[in-house]
Structure 1
Amino acid sequence: MWPFEGFLFVHVTTGAVGLLLFWIPVLGKKGSPTHRKFGEWYARLMLVTASMAIGMASTTLLSPIVTHPKQVALNWPQSRIEGIFGWMMLYLAIMTIHLVWHGIATIRNKKNHPANRHWANVSLNVFTIFAALVCAYRGWLINETLMMGFSLVGIASGLTNLWFIYTPEPSRIAYQLEHIKSIVGSGISVYTAFMAFGFVRLNPGNALNPKMWAIPLGVGLVIIIYQQTRLRLAFRRPRSAPAGATSKA
């Protein structure tokens, strides 16, 4: 039990701080020193948070009864504990790492697009799709609709990332669009986990309430659509001529 509690402590600590910092780059001026500084800290904290979630999921799969006594008291079958707190948490953690990684890579490689095809970057997207398929399969085995439905997010994310990576010449706006999609998507993933799995501690019987999963997804999609729309409008807006420039007859 102590490894699980250790992973949980670090997971909650770094995750809580990271999700507070999330709003600074999201709401602040894009490209500013503040945006970059807090965005980097957010990314680092999310990578640690997701890594701890992998540890929690792994210890759950090794010993589901010991690590989740509240669910045992509620007569949850072992297969369901393994499915929700093992396979699904593992998938969400991998997807979070993949989203943060892609969000960072798209900005760092905007002047060198072939660098996005590094084997580690491509493998992480493929691995995320695989983890999503495993989550869906495990959900099908225990008839858990939530696991099957949420796996579609990882499949779609992995496929669209690979589409961008292997696009020969993305438009100059594509890098920022991918960055917004991935970084806000990582926030959706972690907020979802915190609201759903965290709710287990307060009210275990309602841990899988669809409303707890829908709120972060809805808010995150609104942010992505709004920020991407603003960016597209900014790129379409004609740039003013330099001061002092004169037209030639």
Structure 2
Amino acid sequence: MLTLFHTLVAFHIVFGAVGLVCFWVPVLGRKGSPNHRLWGKIFARTILMAGFIAVLLSLCTLIDPLSTHPHLKDPVFVRGIFGIMMFYLAILTINLAWYGVETLKNKANHRANRRGLNLFLQPILIVAALGCALEGILIGQLLMVVISIVGFATAGTNLFFMFTPNPAPLTYLKEHVKAIVGAGISVYTAFFAFGAVRIMPTIALHPVLWAIPLITGLGIILYHHRQIRLRLEAHSTSQSNKSLGLGF
């Protein structure tokens, strides 16, 4: 078990590190450019792999908490944080990365968003978030309860978009940004928090540490949503001018 766990950790770090670096290329680069598409695909694929491996790591922890985390002595704490919460965050990351890819791929066929794994991941995330919240209450970890709200909000907004019959123009682009940046937030949160547990256990669950990637990510999402709105308004103004004979 321990050898398997350490092997999974190594692969998780590799995929996660690549994703952490790749994240900034599509975020900061010109949207729609070849670089944006290339590095966006690399980010999504590496994050999906890191998320899948995190699911396996969380299951190993639930089976044998103290052997997998010998530096920590409380099995209840280890199961809660590295088992239940890591499983939830892994599902959240997978959900966001997959949904972000699907919304863009299905921009011309909105109904396709309601099929297969994209749909299946929404109730799975709700169940994982509920499990994280309940475990947080049982073991007295308020952070687990608070962080579970992100999962409920993610699945709720995803389902709202997926089952909206005719979304407004460019809504799919807003959902794409929300999901991909959200996946980045999730990965950076795990990097700061779970990495800090090994280096500085006393601050690993400090709310400020968890707030840094969340606030940064929300700022990025709001900025890009504003850019999309301005783009849509400019297009609408151009179309109105043409209909009035003011443009060519």
TM band (smaller chain): over 0.9
Q: Equivalent residue for 1:233?
A: 230
Which of 95, 107, 113 does residue 110 from structure 2 map onto?
A: 113
Distance 1:81 1:2 in 2: 18
TM-score (norm 1): 0.93
Distance 1:171 1:247 in 2: 25
Q: Equivalent residue for 1:51?
A: 52
1:247 Cα shift? 7.1
Q: Does the aligned pair in 2 maintain the 1:71–1:204 contact within 8 Å?
A: no
Q: Equivalent residue for 2:17?
A: 16
Distance 1:29 1:119 in 2: 31
Secondary structure of the residue aligned to 1:92 is: helix
Q: Equivalent residue for 1:194?
A: 191
Unaligned runs of 5+ in 2: none
- Note closer, same or farther for the CA distance 1:63–1:236 as it changes in structure 2 (3 Å cut): same
TM-score (norm 2): 0.94
Distance 2:141 2:196 in 1: 18
1:240 Cα shift? 8.5
Deviations 1:151-193 (A, max 9, x none): 0000010011000000000112100000000000000001000
Q: Equivalent residue for 2:143?
A: 146
Number of paired residues? Answer: 240
- What one-letter code is carried by the residue in structure 1 that aligns with 2:156? L
Is residue 207 from structure 1 mapped to residue 204 from structure 2 by the alignment?
yes
Distance 2:116 2:42 in 1: 25
Q: Percent identity?
A: 47
Q: Equivalent residue for 2:182?
A: 185
Q: Equivalent residue for 1:100?
A: 97
Distance 1:17 1:201 in 2: 21
Q: Equivalent residue for 1:222?
A: 219
1:94 Cα shift? 0.4
User: Hey, which bits of structure 1, 4+ residues long, moved more than 2 A?
Assistant: 238-241
Q: Does the aligned pair in 2 maintain the 1:14–1:46 contact within 8 Å?
A: yes
Distance 1:93 1:103 in 2: 15
Q: Does the aligned pair in 2 maintain the 1:58–1:86 contact within 8 Å?
A: yes
Distance 1:247 1:185 in 2: 41
Distance 1:82 1:186 in 2: 23
Deviations 1:90-147 (A, max 9, x none): 0000010000011001000010011111032111011001100011011111011000
Which of 119, 124, 128 does residue 122 from structure 1 map onto?
A: 119
- What one-letter code is carried by the residue in structure 1 that aligns with 2:69? H
Distance 2:246 2:57 in 1: 66
Distance 1:49 1:231 in 2: 30
Distance 1:205 1:60 in 2: 20
Deviations 1:175-217 (A, max 9, x none): 0000000000000001000000011221123221211111000
Deviations 1:44-99 (A, max 9, x none): 00001111111110110000011111111xxxx21111000000000000010000
